[in-house]
């Protein structure tokens, strides 16, 4: 029970809602980094302690995820979206039990990519907010490719690793009432939020008020390495799924 609570606290965004959100001096970038680190801790811990959660914790984290989905629809900042996605997916981490760690790991890798995208926006456009920087596909094609990959991962599109671990869990577990509600709701939540970001950032006519900048060689390499990790996880996920 204690280990369950510990993992729940680390993964489900409670530190954020209890402490970090209240503090105006802590920016969204910091929260993203802290939340990401806590999730990583949870993932690592879950390899050593039993990842079994009472239903009550799953329900609480699910309610917290629903609230986070609502909050995520009110922001257009990559950093905020990044940690919102962590909290939205927390019920999966608990519900999927031993398979939850790999699902969360691949989510975390996708979010690392989103973090680099946010940093890129911050450097070139003054903020990680993407609302004014629309039409990225036409203006900066390399950047758009990586945003697309990360968001497709989060939206649970096969054959990206998130979807493979997700499917693996679906095939290997038995459904029950709460299970169905959580899985369907959060699947839709991930999908629609990711699509919303794609629609607002990737598509449309580029904004003439903005001087668009594409990824530098170093940045391309950085993102390529994230994609390679995702690819590795995909191969592992596929193997798990097929075996």
Partner 1 sequence: MSTIMQKLDSVKGTVPHYWPIGAFIHHNPLKGFEHLHFKDGVDKAQSIFGGNVYMQPSYYLNLYKEGKINPDLLESNLRDILKSDGLEEHYDLAKKCLIEVNPKWNSLRSTADLNEHEIDEDLLSYLDEKFFYHNKEKWIEKLTKHMTLYEINDILFDRDDKEMIEKDIIEYITRFLDEEQTTITMPNRELGMFETFKLYENFDYAKNSETFVEEALQKLKVKNVEQYLLAHILKLHGWAGFIKYRSEDPDYFSQQEYPSSLMDYMAIRLYFELAYLQHRQINNFELLDTFMQKNSASVILKILQAKGDLPGKYIDAMQEHQNYEQILESYVQDELKLDAKQVHLSSAQLNNKEIALTELAKIMETLRSEEGYIWLKSLEDSYIHAFIDEMKLSEAPKEQRPLASAAFCLDVRSELMRRSLESRGNYVTYGAGGFLGFPIAFVEFDKAHEQFLCPAVVKPGNIIFELPKEAHEEYSSKKIMNKTTKKVLSDLKNNPYTPYIMVEAIGWIFGINLFGKTFSPRKTNRFLSGFKAQKPKTTYTLDKLSEQEIEMYVNKMHKYVIVEALKNSASQEYAAEEIQAIRDHLVFEKDLSLDIPRELLEKLRTKYKITRKDYEYQKNKLKMVGFTLEEKVEYLYSFLMMVGQVDNFAEFVILCGHQSISDNNPFESALDCGACGGSSSLPNNRALCMIANSKDVREAIAQKGIVIPDDVKFMPALHVTSTDEIKFYDTDILTSEELQKFKKVMADFEEASKIARQERITQLPYTNTQEDIMVKSMDWSEPRPEWGLAGNMGVFAGPRSSIKHMTFKNRLFMHSYDAKLDNENADILTKIFNGPLVVGEWINLEHYFSTVDNTVYGAGSKVYHNIVAKVGVFNGNYGDLKIGLPTQSVMLEGKAYHEPVRLLTYMEAPLEAVGKAVENSVAKEFILNEWIRPVIIDKKAKKVYSYESGDFKVIKEF
Binding residues (CB under 8 A) for partner 1: these are 28, 74-77, 121, 123-134, 205, 207-211
Q: Which is nearer to partner 1, 175 or 208 (CB)?
A: 208
Shortest Cβ 119–partner 1 spacing (Å): 12
CA atoms 105, 186, 70, 147: torsion sign: positive
Q: Which residues contact 49 (CB under 8 A, 6 or more apart)?
A: 3, 6, 7
Shortest Cβ 185–partner 1 spacing (Å): 24
Whether a cis peptide bond, with omega within 30° of 0, leads into 2 is no
Shortest Cβ 80–partner 1 spacing (Å): 8
CB 165 within 8 A of CB 102: yes
Shortest Cβ 217–partner 1 spacing (Å): 18
Distance CA 135, CA 146 (A): 14
Q: Which is nearer to partner 1, 134 or 223 (CB)?
A: 134
Q: Which is nearer to partner 1, 125 or 187 (CB)?
A: 125
Residues for the chain: how many in total?
A: 243
Q: Which is nearer to partner 1, 98 or 199 (CB)?
A: 199
């Amino acid at each position: 029970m204690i280990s369950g609570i510990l993992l729940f606290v680390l993964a489900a965004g409670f530190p954020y809602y209890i402490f970090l959100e209240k503090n105006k001096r802590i920016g969204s970038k910091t929260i993203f980094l802290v939340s990401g680190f806590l999730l990583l801790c949870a993932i690592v811990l879950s390899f050593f302690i039993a990842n079994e959660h009472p239903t009550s914790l799953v329900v609480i984290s699910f309610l917290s995820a629903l609230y986070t989905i609502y909050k995520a629809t009110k922001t257009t900042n990559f950093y905020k979206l990044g940690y919102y996605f962590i909290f939205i997916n927390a019920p999966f981490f608990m519900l999927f039990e031993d398979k939850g760690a790999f699902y969360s790991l691949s989510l975390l890798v996708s979010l690392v990519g989103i973090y680099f995208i946010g940093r890129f926006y911050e450097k070139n456009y003054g903020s990680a907010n993407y609302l004014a920087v629309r039409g990225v596909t036409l203006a900066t094609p390399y950047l758009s490719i990586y945003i697309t990959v990360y968001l497709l991962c989060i939206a649970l599109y096969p054959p990206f690793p998130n979807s493979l671990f997700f499917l693996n869990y679906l095939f290997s577990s038995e459904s029950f009432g709460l299970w169905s509600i959580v899985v369907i709701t959060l699947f839709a939540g991930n999908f629609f939020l990711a699509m919303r970001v794609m629609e607002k950032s990737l598509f449309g006519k580029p904004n003439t008020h903005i001087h668009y900048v594409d990824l530098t060689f170093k940045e391309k390499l950085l993102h390529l390495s994230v994609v390679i990790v995702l690819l590795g996880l995909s191969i592992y996920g596929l193997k798990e799924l097929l075996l």
